[in-house]
Amino acid sequence: MTQRTLVLLKPDAVKRGQAGEIIRRIEAKGYALVALELRSATPEVLAEHYAEHEGKPFYQPLVDFMLSGPVVAIVLEGERCIEGFRSLAGATDPTVAAPGTVRGDLGRDWGLKVQQNLVHGSDSPESAEREIAIWFPHL
Ligand code: IDP
Ligand code: MG
């Protein structure tokens, strides 16, 4: 089943010069790049993107972090790439993300700053469709 998913390389990935390494892993897995752009998120885009997390204790720190520098927004295409990219990314908390994953290999232990986990990936076909429309309305 060919799918599309939205991936974000978060500001920590861009600042630390890990964007290329993460894109290399995506391409090595066989996923196609459909769209890719370095850009600055806006409060409006992030409010839509993270709507499901509004009201949670980590919401505002997460939004502030996502505004702290440019992100790379990517649409990938490939066989079961929604599940597949999340498998490449690893668990949300880089401290416990498995070795071999982006977060496990490249994530640092930032204490409570779980938000600095390098990447976002859509978690379902419905989320992917919604998030691609937010970041790439022309697609
Ligand atoms: P996911 O990115 O693995 O799908 P979600 O639960 O959807 O994780 O959370 C969205 C983002 O919010 C995470 O990637 C991370 O940046 C941040 N986050 C999640 N849980 C926490 C937390 O407990 N503390 C701080 N940030 C968190
Ligand atoms: Mg999520």
pLDDT at site 115 = 86
Ligand nearest to the CA of 13: 1
pLDDT at site 82 = 98
The three-class DSSP label of residue 71 is strand
pLDDT at site 110 = 58
**Residues 73, 113 contacting (CB under 8 angstroms):** no
If we measure between CA atoms, which residue out of 16, 33, 32 comes closest to residue 110? 16
pLDDT at site 111 = 56
Query: Among residues 49, 53, 120, 138, which one is catalytic?
Result: 120
123 lines ligand 1 (CB under 6 A): yes
pLDDT at site 42 = 98
CA of 73 to the centre of ligand 2 (A): 15
Residues with pLDDT less than 70, the chain: 109-112
Q: Name the token pair of 78.
A: 């490939």
Model confidence, pTM: 0.96
pLDDT at site 72 = 99
pLDDT at site 109 = 64
Q: Work out whether the CA dihedral 96, 74, 131, 86 comes out positive or negative.
A: negative
SS (H, E, C) 13-54: HHHCCCHHHHHHHHHHHCCEEEEEEEECCCHHHHHHHCHHHC
